[in-house]
Chain A
């Protein structure tokens, strides 16, 4: 269980850190408006929104390491799975990333977030499986 908890915390770190170095703003690419103002592209906002997924995911991982009861673990696993789904949907559906295939956000950030989200769901599924059945009587 401790390995699964550690994995969730590591994945939370990946989800929160990778966008900072792979969105278009980090590569110096921004949108320039007609009045000369520059604004970040949507991949930047996806990266920031992923923080709202990563932070609770790290908390889920920490709580999982501390929890003794199966029911608590089951609940944490379900929350983890939803957070994994959110990590996938943010770049794919909710906000998105830039369309060009060779931009770093499309080439690295999006796949990393999808992969991390899938692994989070898989680990949460494993935790749920391992926590099945009634509580052990002490």
Chain B
């Protein structure tokens, strides 16, 4: 009888033991892959959000850092204001190459005049913008006109409609941005001119008017001269422009990075505990199985099977169970993480982006590897012990 065939018979011969080992492999591989997917997904989403922002420094009103970060990363609607004169002051700071204002608004919640409830809206100045305009020119060949908007990946025109209604004003969705796994996916971008037109129309057409202060802006996006030091320029902005907080792009989303750090520590501890317990449990199951099968293995040895053959049979059996369990665990994990990605974002309060196929394949292989190593390690000691047993002693017992 061949090695694999014998291992297969052993697996089907004791269904309960096989289920326990396969379940452990399923748990270990699934947990390892699941945690990696979520943590790396959040990491890459944060990185992408930073890149998409396209600014070296973001200047926000003093005390509004968390609100603006929550808006830019999670799409939490916010309204923060500072004087528009701050823009000129920021432009005058040495090292600043370009600066462009943005206004943060939101649609109304549960109002019939808005076809999208509580959506984060960003109004920008096309004359000075350096974050969205280059992308727009590459994608649709021109900037946005009055009444036109660009949406995040999940923004769509309602079924059977031609336009999206905001404060009773109809806007046309011109294009969608690539998914980032952040709140940007559910945000809408328009020019300041469109925003002010919506505010004008909303007075008569909306349940509540859209209010935009004449001399108010929410944030200033800053692009630095090549070679300029971001930290030094941020300090300079703070000195020259009172009442604002400049955030260097590498320091953006600090609250979320901290949250991710603590989540990583918690998940790491859980994963370590699961791995340890699985090794112990599988080791115990295999020890019991090996004891149960002393006579059977003794007979096998007496019939001429070598120690190495018995040892290999036990390891192949463990390997087959590990692969079957791990494959099931990995498939289920990918399905669960993919299908429940929005729920994960809402529950953890962190952005999340599924990895590219090549990265996913590498992570799947790593998950399989972890399960294989854990189970082989656990089966190693009982396999060595039983294969060294004298056949006569084993059969007599």
Binding site for B on A (CB under 8 A): 99, 101-102, 106-108, 110-111, 114-115, 118
A101 contacts B339, CB within 8 Å?
A: no
**Residue in A99, A102, A114 whose beta carbon sits within 8 Å of that of B342 in the complex:** A102
Binding site for A on B (CB under 8 A): 154, 156, 158-159, 186, 335-336, 339-340, 342-343, 346
Known: A101-B186, A102-B346, A118-B335. A111 touches B154 (CB 8 A): no
* B24, chain A: closest CB distance, angstroms: 17
Residues of chain B within 8 A (CB-CB) of A101 are: 154, 186, 342
Residues of chain A within 8 A (CB-CB) of B340 are: 107-108, 111
A31–B336 CA distance with the chains assembled, in angstroms: 30
Known: A99-B156, A101-B186. A106 touches B342 (CB 8 A): yes
Residues of chain A within 8 A (CB-CB) of B336 are: 115
B335 contacts A107, CB within 8 Å?
A: no
B335 contacts A99, CB within 8 Å?
A: no
Instruction: Give the interface SS of chain A, mostly helix, strand, loop or mixed.
Output: helix
A24–B340 CA distance with the chains assembled, in angstroms: 17
B346 contacts A107, CB within 8 Å?
A: yes
Q: Which residue of A lies closest to B185 (CB)?
A: A101
Q: Which residue of A lies closest to B110 (CB)?
A: A29
A28–B159 CA distance with the chains assembled, in angstroms: 22
B335 contacts A115, CB within 8 Å?
A: yes
Q: Which residue of A lies closest to B19 (CB)?
A: A3
B159 contacts A111, CB within 8 Å?
A: no
Give 15 pairs: A residue, B residue, CB < 8 Å, sorted on A. Answer: A99-B158, A99-B159, A101-B154, A102-B186, A102-B346, A107-B340, A107-B343, A107-B346, A108-B343, A110-B339, A111-B343, A114-B339, A115-B335, A115-B336, A118-B335
A61–B158 CA distance with the chains assembled, in angstroms: 41
A26–B392 CA distance with the chains assembled, in angstroms: 69
Residues of chain A within 8 A (CB-CB) of B186 are: 101-102
Residues of chain A within 8 A (CB-CB) of B346 are: 102, 107
Residues of chain A within 8 A (CB-CB) of B156 are: 99
Query: Residue among B335, B342, B346 with the most chain A CB within 10 A?
Result: B342
Residues of chain B within 8 A (CB-CB) of A118 are: 335
A115–B159 CA distance with the chains assembled, in angstroms: 26
Residues of chain B within 8 A (CB-CB) of A107 are: 340, 342-343, 346
Q: Which residue of A lies closest to B336 (CB)?
A: A115
Q: Which residue of B lies closest to A106 (CB)?
A: B342
* B286, chain A: closest CB distance, angstroms: 22
* B82, chain A: closest CB distance, angstroms: 30
A110–B186 CA distance with the chains assembled, in angstroms: 19
Residues of chain A within 8 A (CB-CB) of B342 are: 101-102, 106-107
A102–B186 CA distance with the chains assembled, in angstroms: 10
A129–B154 CA distance with the chains assembled, in angstroms: 41
Residues of chain A within 8 A (CB-CB) of B154 are: 101
Top 6 A-B pairs ranked by shortest CB distance?
A111-B339, A107-B342, A107-B343, A111-B340, A101-B342, A101-B154
A115–B338 CA distance with the chains assembled, in angstroms: 10
Residues of chain A within 8 A (CB-CB) of B158 are: 99
* A54, chain B: closest CB distance, angstroms: 19
